[in-house]
Amino acid sequence: MTGNIVIEWTVPPVQGTEEMLQKAFRACMEAEKITLPAYAQLMITTDEEIHRLNREYRHVDRATDVLSFPSTAAHPGYTLGEHQNLLRREMDDTGACFLGDIIISLERAYAQAEEYGHSPLRELTYLTVHALFHLMGYDHMEECDKRSMRAMEEKVMENLGVTRVTDQELIKKAEEAMQFAYVPYSHYKVGAALLAKDGRIFTGCNIENGSYGATNCAERTALFKAVSEGCREFSAIAITAEKSAPWPCGICRQALNEFAPDIRVIVSCQGNVEESALPQLLPHGFGPGNGTLDYLGKE
């Protein structure tokens, strides 16, 4: 399968969006098993513009988060021969099938990202995936159709590593990571699951060393893994242990403060869950927001 999503911005672009939305397009095509070349057009714009389009084309006098305008008479399930033939008949002079147009309000994406507690990039990715499945014939007017569409959306978002995660799900990920702990000296296993603002989860466990100073805590294992993969914005971390509440040590608090000074810290042990914000655990914390970069001679 070849193709892409053509993105037009009428507002300042969100950093990192192009690569993620191209991945989202490919993931949707793969999930629906589209093997023929296809593409779609996406415009990311203002509330005012999407309001105008709603009024003109849908007779709805308000702004919405996303609009989809399919260009084919598609139905879910392109694996069926008839639908492959439909796409083949509708190929244009580019040698690919144009699936349709998508319009997203950036203002709505920002507002919904804040409401749900994740990044604008995560919200833009979800809205794009949702709209792409509309272009492929999915709908959510009836409950059975809604379940089918939602299942496809969740499948793609999971494949992209971008999901909405509850605290209990995050704790479960930490518990799974704890099983890999290497603790021949303390015998105190700890697991951590770090939730990025774009929805990705990075896990880690404590790894001890005969030279005690080389030991690494679960929190830093997860954090360093995330940063090494280009992620630097986080909203929550779950930490779990078998014997007592595993509140992060001072070094881990400082490491988290470097990238997420307001992160939620969730600790669990034997079913007991407690929560705190990092500023409560590290009052008057020192980091990039306190002139560190100037001190290092950087702009």
Provide the annotated active-site residues.
Answer: 219
CB 5, CB 20: distance < 8 Å: no
Q: How many Cβ atoms are within 10 Å of 112's Cβ, its own excluded?
A: 18
CB 197, CB 207: distance < 8 Å: no
CB 175, CB 167: distance < 8 Å: no
Tokens of 296: 């290092």
Host H or E run for residue 234: strand 234-241
R_g over Cα of the chain? 23
CB 148, CB 31: distance < 8 Å: no
Q: Which residue blocks in the chain are alpha helix, DSSP H?
A: 17-31, 47-53, 81-89, 106-116, 120-135, 143-159, 167-178, 218-228, 250-259, 278-281, 292-295
Instruction: For residue 267, give every residue at least 6 positions away whose Cβ sits within 8 Å of its Cβ, in sequence order, or none.
Output: 238, 239, 240, 241, 245, 246, 247, 273, 274, 275
What is the DSSP code string of 125-148? HHHHHHHHHHHTT---SSHHHHHH
CB 183, CB 208: distance < 8 Å: yes
DSSP secondary-structure letter at 56?
I
Distance CA 268, CA 202 (A): 17
